[in-house]
Chain A
Amino acid sequence: MIETHLSLLIVVLPLLAAPLVAILPNGRLAWAVSSITTFVVFLLAWQQLVNVASGNIISYELGGWAPPWGIEYRIDAANALVALIVAGIAAVTLPYALRSVEKEISKPQHSLFYSAFMLCLTGLLGITQTGDIFNVFVFLEISSLSTYALISLGKKRQALTAAYQYLIMGTIGATFFLIGVGLLYAMTGTLNMNDLSQRLPDLVEHRTIQTAFAFIMVGFALKLALFPLHLWLPNAYTYAPSVITVFLAATATKVAVYVMLRVIFTVFGFSFIENTPTDELFLLLCVAGILIMSFYAINQRDSKRLLAYSSVAQIGYMMLGIGFGSMLGLTATLVHLFNHALMKGALFMAIGAIVYRIGSSRIEDMAGLGKQMPWTFAAIIIGGLSLIGVPGTAGFISKWYLVLAAIEQQNWLIVAVILIGSLLAVIYVWKLIEALYFRTAAEPVNNIKEAPLMLLVPTWILVIANIYFGLDTELTVGTAEVAVKLLLGDPQ
């Protein structure tokens, strides 16, 4: 029973939990119900990955309606890996949420907060599971609308304007995607991705198909904050509650990158992209994004904003792999998707722990805190090393594959950009470490204690994962390679 409906349960469980959590009294019960749901979903997502890890595909027909008429959930190694990232990050974020939310969000909003969190999780998991392109739009809007609400719960009033700005840009992005889907439907008469991939090759010369492609690409480039469409991201990450920053930074953009992968490689096929200037454009925007956004990160005075700009630069690395379109490039994209979720999750959690103690994320307010909060400080060091890409951490693995992909295509400029990007990361990570350890506060405050265990343990789970996946790459690289073979091979 569970086995056959596994793919559906992953989406439906958080969806059912959302209204249930909303009617529960404020306080720990709402948190407990959402945590348990998330753990179950995580286990199911794990089982799902095990089921498809050898390269087979699970097709689940919703309500028993056969595709292409009914909605189909089509799971292969790529979906399963992304679903595992989303569910896994949610499962470590929720234990962290308890104390952080009690501190940052007023009590009457607690159960609604967890309810919106569950809806956001439903949306993100739905996007990864579905094989129907219109269904992607629906889940995208479920996750986006709940995200806007969650961001607006931030303590400062700028959170409201950040949420508003994201709402406007996100809706434009989603509507562009909708236009693209409409045009595809007009030409092919189908919405099933697998069906589309069979009907599109005959129509590639058609102007409508090319327009549809352009609309979908721009729409999702907005959602995944590809430079220069990233303007909503720094404010949203800076002013959102700490928990939401952790969750969004580690999952939302990754899911959008996954949709990009799916649309480019499964629906249109890479040969379509090679006949358009899209792949060169991606490489150009990624190179510009990596360099410019890293410089922006260096100049920030707020630690959350610094990491937000770093995220935009890191999205550049993920999209580079798509621009290459090669086996190695796509492996690097999928591996970096996974690893970046781990490193940014760990870093934002550690920053969130500091915010929990001092109530500010400004770098100057953190002077000398490293000595008072040694465990949090150590988490920032290891997370930072992973962000730079030091051997022995997860970040190294993804950079390694990316550099290999660039060398394979003899694109020395991009090899240089990846290395310069890493050097720039050294500077901005150092900026945090310098402030935390080597600077002393103008007015030293001595009563700041180490963050509570409820915050430290999830942070360190991610930190240890960063080291573990830097040494054992079987899950990440192994699954990514299986997924890439399916993405590049002929879809059955």
Chain B
Amino acid sequence: MELIIGHYNYWLVIIIMMAGFYTVISQGNLIKKIAGLNVFQVSVFMLYISIGNVKDGAAPIIEPTVELYSNPLPHVLILTAIVVGVATTALGLALVVRIKEAYGTIEEDDIHNQDHSL
């Protein structure tokens, strides 16, 4: 029980990660794939933020009365990763728009059929 409740944030990370990953693999709709990819990335953000937390530590802002702080570095790292995630999503969605213009559909199976019927 301690293993589950004591590490509930990590369990949440794993569940979200697998949900996102499964969506990327199983969905045929290109937009849904991007959404799945986003969920997958968000789980990694949660993982990093969990790592940065120090037990009983305060937010990492210098205060004379506080002695124990959380580690701010993982937060900074993950800010970079969030930016990268936004850029990836934007580029992915832009590609989907172009694919829709070129094929008239965003379903993977239909695109596949069109390329092979040529």
The finding on whether chains A and B are genuine partners in a shared complex, rather than unrelated, reads yes
Interchain nearest-CB distance for B87 vs A (Å): 6
Q: Is the CB of B98 within 8 A of A182?
A: no
Q: Of the listed stretches A170-178, A260-268, A465-473, name the one at the interface; the rest are far from the partner chain.
A: A170-178
Q: Is the CB of B80 within 8 A of A138?
A: yes
Q: Is the CB of B47 within 8 A of A179?
A: yes
Residues 131-188 of A at the B interface (beta carbon under 8 Å):
134, 137-138, 141, 145, 148-149, 152, 157-158, 160-161, 163-164, 167-168, 171-172, 174-175, 178-179, 182, 185-186
Which B residues lie within 8 Å of A160 (CB)? 95, 98-99, 102
Q: Is the CB of A167 within 8 A of B88?
A: yes
CB-nearest residue of chain A to B97: A160
Q: Is the CB of A152 within 8 A of B24?
A: no
From known contacts A152-B98, A157-B103, A185-B51, infer whether A175 and B40 are also in contact, taking CB-CB under 8 Å: yes
CB-nearest residue of chain B to A141: B84
CB-nearest residue of chain A to B71: A189
We find that the number of chain A residues with CB closer than 8 angstroms to chain B is 25
CB-nearest residue of chain A to B81: A178
Is B58 an interface residue when CB atoms closer than 8 A count as contact? Answer: no
Q: Is the CB of A138 within 8 A of B51?
A: no
We find that the number of chain B residues with CB closer than 8 angstroms to chain A is 29
Is B77 an interface residue when CB atoms closer than 8 A count as contact? Answer: yes
Interchain nearest-CB distance for A461 vs B (Å): 33
Q: Is the CB of A148 within 8 A of B51?
A: no
**Which of the residues B21, B30, B51, B88 comes within 8 Å of A141, measured between beta carbons?**
B88
Q: Is the CB of A172 within 8 A of B24?
A: yes
From known contacts A160-B99, A172-B37, A175-B44, infer whether A182 and B30 are also in contact, taking CB-CB under 8 Å: no
Which B residues lie within 8 Å of A145 (CB)? 84, 87-88, 91
0/1 per residue, B47-75, Cβ < 8 Å to A? Answer: 11001000000000000000000000110
Within the assembled complex, what's the spacing in Å between the Cα atoms of A163 and B103? 15
CB-nearest residue of chain B to A190: B73
Question: A134, A141, A148, A178 — which one has the most chain B CB atoms within 10 A of its CB?
Answer: A178
Is B29 an interface residue when CB atoms closer than 8 A count as contact? Answer: no
Which B residues lie within 8 Å of A179 (CB)? 44, 47
Q: Is the CB of B33 within 8 A of A168?
A: yes
Which A residues lie within 8 Å of B51 (CB)? 182, 185-186
Interchain nearest-CB distance for B73 vs A (Å): 8
Within the assembled complex, what's the spacing in Å between the Cα atoms of A157 and B99? 8
Which B residues lie within 8 Å of A141 (CB)? 84, 87-88
Which B residues lie within 8 Å of A175 (CB)? 40-41, 44
Interchain nearest-CB distance for A401 vs B (Å): 38
Within the assembled complex, what's the spacing in Å between the Cα atoms of A138 and B88? 12
Is B96 an interface residue when CB atoms closer than 8 A count as contact? Answer: yes
**Which of the residues A138, A164, A172, A185 comes within 8 Å of B96, measured between beta carbons?**
A164
Interchain nearest-CB distance for A242 vs B (Å): 20
Within the assembled complex, what's the spacing in Å between the Cα atoms of A148 and B98? 13
CB-nearest residue of chain A to B50: A186
Interchain nearest-CB distance for A115 vs B (Å): 14
Q: What are 11 contact pairs spanning A and B, CB under 8 A?
A: A137-B81, A145-B91, A148-B91, A157-B102, A161-B111, A163-B95, A171-B92, A175-B44, A178-B44, A182-B51, A185-B74
Per CB-CB distance, the 8 closest pairs between chain A and chain B, nearest first, are A157-B102, A186-B51, A141-B84, A164-B95, A160-B99, A160-B98, A182-B48, A167-B92
